[in-house]
Structure 1
Amino acid sequence: MKWIVFGLVIVVIFIVAASFYAANFFLSVALFRNNKWYDKTGHKMMNPDNFNKGTSKYDLTEEQQNQQGEFFWQQEVAKDHWLEIGREKLYSRLIVSHPDSKKWVICVHGYRSYGKRDMAFVASKFSDQQYNILVPDLRAHGKSTGNVIGMGWLDRLDLLKWIQEVITIEPLAEIVLFGGSMGASTVMMTSGERLPKNVKGLVVDCGYSSVYSEFGVMLSSAFKLPAFPILTIANHLAKRKVGYSLKEASSISQLAQNKLPTLFIHGTGDKFVPHQMLYENMEATKGVKESLIVEQAPHLSSFIYEPDHYFDTVFEFIHRYC
């Protein structure tokens, strides 16, 4: 009997030690900018659709959109705009194509990406509707400094500063916040803060409901590991390692304070952020809400799969409610 108890204790110790190692490794991969394993292997595991490009009509559409975005990004009126917050220096692209317009959009990119890659084409479509544009690189992304990835939770505070930057430029600005992937969750998490009246509405494309839930999906789908007890341990470690817990970084809890009109978008083919999270986010918000579901579209690809329907829906929603 003693040997059985001893054996069980050894097994429990091994499981706990392995779980602590896995939790620490996962946080290092997921929440720190400079991680060689993520760059070499992790990215392919966590978002495989980014590496399955071919010559389908969708790939050709994406290439055309990227070319349009590149041309828009490089136009003469586009300027680099910097913001210093504490020790960090944050970058954005400021494009005031319509100086007499009061309409503004802030476009926020996704996880481990940067503004130009995710949002240049989207910004060009807003410019066609007479919007002036601000596209930030979130901290620890793109040209912005920093090493800790905020997953939207830390970034919500930076987005508040970017909103104030726009208001400084144009005090009567009517601002729409547009985000994709982690950028969508950044916008949703910002929605629970006290926003100036200049902010009129939100458009969020494939955002997760909370960092805790999203990391649970990643552990299961990409790493083939159980969420418990690894995620429970990671949640406690994160507070010490990056300054926030995975559970507090919640779009749902912040949307519960939101009264702004919000359009939720998601593709059913999303392997990175399950499209079911859209319904959780929609249920949480207190403002006017509508949704756009794009069948079979992978992560942050709905405007590639159905571009006309996508942008018609976005601007009809904005014109109706914002």
Structure 2
Amino acid sequence: MKKLKHKKLWLSSIIIILLVCVLFTGAGFYFFRVACVPGKKSFLSSSSDVIKKSDPLYREKIWFKKTAKQKWYIESADEKFKLDANFIPYKTSNKTAIVLPGYMDTKEDMGEYDALFHQLGYNTLTPDPRAQGKSEGKYIGYGWPEKDDVKKWVSYLLQKYGQNQQVVIYGLSMGAATAMMTSGLKLPHQVKAFVEDCGYTSVKDEIEHEAGVLYNMPAFPRFPLVEILSGINKLKVGYFMGNASSVNQLHKNHRPMLFIHGSRDNFVPTRMVYPNYKATRGPKEIWVAPGAKHAKSFSKHPKEYKRRVATFLAKYVK
């Protein structure tokens, strides 16, 4: 009788464990679709095509809208997808800024940043990341596979515009993480400096943070769910989220980098800028923009933003 009760207890425990595993796995696939499959995201504010004169970056956005763009294309680094980019030349400049958009943003959303670099005398090359805008792709890579695409864009630029180009890599949000991850690669000597604005420390850190903020999810079940999501990401996209680390890549970087972050950023929390800044091995500066929310440092402080970017880059790009 005792043996029978014991067996029933074990059977019940196994069934409960299996049910929990099924529930967590199902939740993992749901969150993978939310986080990594391109499409409309309810947690992102929709941007309007209407440019208001009250916008502090009105002139930059109007300039971009009216400016002719060249269309450039390459295959992704893994040769799976066709990637699409805008190129805007500045006279006969030998300086080019590669401008990297954020999560679910496109090259068309980066007009004010193209304008900023144009004002500083740079050509701009602004690609749609894989699976965003007009670039092909199945999944959002959060900067990890995209870093290799950026390196390929650099090579393509040098091939088309010559070896005397001086290249700056600028990124915003996910694009900033992409820029930091790219900095740890072996890059041509023509890459002179980086500017990152509100990038995260790692993909896993950012996903864990968003799970807490967007879903008010406590530590349990947040941590096991993110681990399951990371495993699904490994199967689908090719990497574990914890390995996609800006901090680890910055440890390999010896080029100059300017770090910018809004002091009121809750999407990529402001605290993340400090380990990123500490990690890099090259010349560096940091500016935490007072009162700025996520990706709003430029619109909050347009003159100061431009001054800081210009002053920093002038030291390394001639």
Counterpart Cα distance in 2 of 1:8 and 1:135: 55
Contact 1:58 1:305 in 2 (8 A): no
Deviation at 1:138, TM superposition (A): 0.9
- Alignment correspondent of 1:320: 315
SS in 2 for 1:175: strand
SS at match of 1:276: helix
Q: Which runs of 5+ in 1 are unaligned?
A: none
User: By how many angstroms is 1:321 displaced?
Assistant: 3.5
Identify the residue that residue 72 of structure 2 maps to in structure 1. Answer: 81
The answer as to 2:181 corresponding to 1:189 is yes
CA 97–64 in structure 1, closer or farther in 2 if over 3 Å, else same:
closer
Contact between 1:202 and 1:263, CA under 8 Å: does it hold in 2? yes
Is 1:121 matched up with 2:112?
yes
The match for 1:24 among 16, 19, 29 is: 29
**C-alpha contact (below 8 Å) 1:210/1:246 kept by paired residues:** yes
Equivalent in the alignment of 1:44: 42
- Compute the displacement of 1:154 (Å): 0.3
The yes-or-no answer on 1:153 pairing with 2:139 is no
How far apart, in 1, do the equivalents of 2:176 and 2:102 lie?
A: 8
CA distance in 1, matches of 2:288, 2:10: 53
Structure of larger gyration radius? 2
Whether contact under 8 Å (1:58, 1:304) holds in the other structure is: no
Residue identity in the other structure for 1:161: K
Structure 2 residue aligned with 1:253: 248
The aligned counterpart of 1:270 is 265
Structure 1 segment 87-236 matched on structure 2, within 5 A: 87-99=80-92, 101-117=93-109, 119-168=110-159, 169-225=161-217, 226-236=221-231
Find the residue that maps to 2:315 and give its secondary structure. helix
Could you tell me the TM-score, scaled by structure 1's length?
0.87
- Counterpart of 1:156, as a letter, is K
- The sequence identity of aligned pairs, in percent, is 33
TM-score normalised according to structure 2 size: 0.88
Cα distance in 2 for partners of 1:283, 1:4 equals 53
CA-based RMSD of the aligned residues comes to 2.2
Tell me which moved more, 126-135 or 192-201: 126-135
The runs of 5 or more residues in structure 2 that have no matched partner are none
TM-superposed CA distance for 1:206, in Å, is 0.5
SS of 1:177's equivalent? strand
* Residue identity matched to 1:308: K
